[in-house]
Chain A
Amino acid sequence: MSERVWRILIESFPKILLPGLRMTLPLTVIAFSIAMVIAVIVAMVQYAHVRVLSQVFRAYIWIIRGTPLLVQLFVVFYGLRAGYYMSPFWAAVLVFSINEGAYCAETMRGALEAVPVGQIEAGYCVGMSYTQIMRRIVLPQALRTAFPPLSNSLISMVKDTSLASNITVAEMFMATQRINARYYEPLALYLEVAVIYLIFCTLLTWLQRLGEKKLSAYTKKEARHA
């Protein structure tokens, strides 16, 4: 590689990383947090077979999972003119939360249904109410089961945020495109942004492992007194 390319890469690194820290990361963290709230509510409603609301949420999952994320971004931003009411960043947060919420809701529902019914019966038998059992017994166990697939979704989402460049969110990918427009070194620059995404995801994988270790205290098979 020529000296020129190296110089471009080094100079552009902070210019790509900074939008990453200022846009990509907040977008991911905020949207995923909202998605988790949506997921838990939607999953619990379906788990409890709440009438009407269950059907409404099924339709929500059906539509969101059945249409491309990019199309959803366009519908909200250009179609519904979301940019008129909010910044592109918040429009992206809106779409990403709703989209991710649908996928995570299914993960959560599966995890809730995997909790043995005996856990609930035992809760009733010690006098707990349905709400208490959900909050103290079922949900914590379901979250443990759902943790790896949810981490998966989070990692996917970090990369999917690059789609937000299409609705004028100045995140990492858009920053890279702009720099490339000036220097035209597509291979080097797009590889560079790929590496930065990889670093982000590596950190998340590492966090996932830490989280699993913390959560797995009760799933360890080996007896402590052995």
Chain B
Amino acid sequence: MLEVSNLSKSFGGVPVLRNISLRVDKGDVTAVIGPSGGGKTTLLRCLNFLERADEGQMVFGENTYNLRNVSKHDIAAIRMRTGFVFQNFNLFSNKTAIQNVTEGLVIARKMPREKANDIAIRALERVGLKERASYYPNQLSGGQQQRVAIARALATEPEIIYFDEPTSALDPELIGEVLAVMRDLARSGMTMLVVTHEMRFARDVSSQVIFMEEGQIIESGPSAAFFAAPREARTQTFLRNLSAEEKI
């Protein structure tokens, strides 16, 4: 349902993404892993046009787009069909939890308020926060805020949800509740592209792994094979270092 080919991006002459190609099928949970500064987040942001790629092509659903000159109209259309979960949650701070969820429905999609409220309550229930519907973001913990953000993405019935390091800004004890929600989403067949440092999540939940470093995809493939027997030397070192860390 999503296919990217030869995506490149540089910031002020410094290349941060080089010839990225990837493919995500419906229902795939793709984990994008790798060391910090490798371009994972930039890649994700390019896919939702928060950054504009310099080169590349994207097939989204039935349409093909040239990333270099994709129109505003097309960007808006693609965003209507995707969800995005940020590292820092980015909940609208002047809106309550339920208003955060309904905003995209009522304002962007012109859905009647009542119908949107029903959907929002169900989305909040799904992330276990129905009783926090009338709370403002700063009355919620980080983990709760991120779950509201997931509900917000979920409510618009996206064809894919992008997660940008969704647990990196959380206290260790709050990570679990967010990962649990994401696991539940994955089980329900949601297509997800997740930039993450949570190796256990990547190993247990994802169906496909993309390992990135220095703006390039070093290795990608089915998760089971990737974690059992990585092909590239660099990936092997990365995983070995991680498992050494876990043992401590």
Contact = CB atoms under 8 A, between A and B. Distances in A.
A224 B141 CA distance: 12
Nearest to A127: B108
A118 B104 contact: no
Interface stretch (A23-31, A46-54, A214-222): A214-222
A224 to B, nearest CB: 5
Contact of B90 (A121, A127, A219, A222): A121
A126 B136 contact: no
A129 B94 contact: no
In this complex, the interface size class of chain A, counting residues with CB under 8 Å from chain B, is: 20 to 34
Interface in B109-163: 109, 135-140, 152-153, 156
A141 B95 CA distance: 10
A124 B156 CA distance: 13
Contact of A122 (B49, B91, B107, B139): B91
A218 B93 contact: yes
A210 B91 CA distance: 26
Interface stretch (A33-41, A76-84, A132-140, A188-196): A132-140
B93 A141 contact: yes
Interface string A104-132: 00000000000010110111111111001
Given A119-B92, A119-B93, A141-B93, A127 B104 contact: yes
Contact of A127 (B76, B135, B140): B76
Contact of B138 (A116, A126, A127, A221): A221
Interface residues of B, number: 31
A125 to B, nearest CB: 4
B161 to A, nearest CB: 10
A71 interface: no
B84 interface: yes
A58 interface: no
Contact of A218 (B82, B94, B107): B94
Contacts, number: 82
B50 A124 contact: yes
B103 interface: yes
Interface in A126-162: 126-129, 132, 136-137, 140-141, 144
A180 to B, nearest CB: 50
A187 interface: no
Nearest to A125: B84
Interface string B74-97: 001001101110101011111100
Contacts of B19: none
Given A118-B90, A119-B93, A126-B108, A219 B138 contact: yes
Given A126-B104, A136-B107, A223 B139 contact: yes
A141 to B, nearest CB: 5
A221 B137 CA distance: 10
8 contacts: A121-B50, A127-B104, A128-B104, A136-B103, A218-B93, A218-B94, A219-B138, A220-B136
Given A121-B90, A122-B90, A219-B138, 12 more contacts: A119-B92, A121-B86, A124-B48, A125-B84, A126-B152, A127-B156, A128-B107, A128-B108, A137-B94, A141-B94, A218-B138, A224-B139
* Top 6 closest pairs, chain A to chain B, by CB: A126-B104, A127-B108, A125-B84, A118-B90, A122-B90, A218-B136
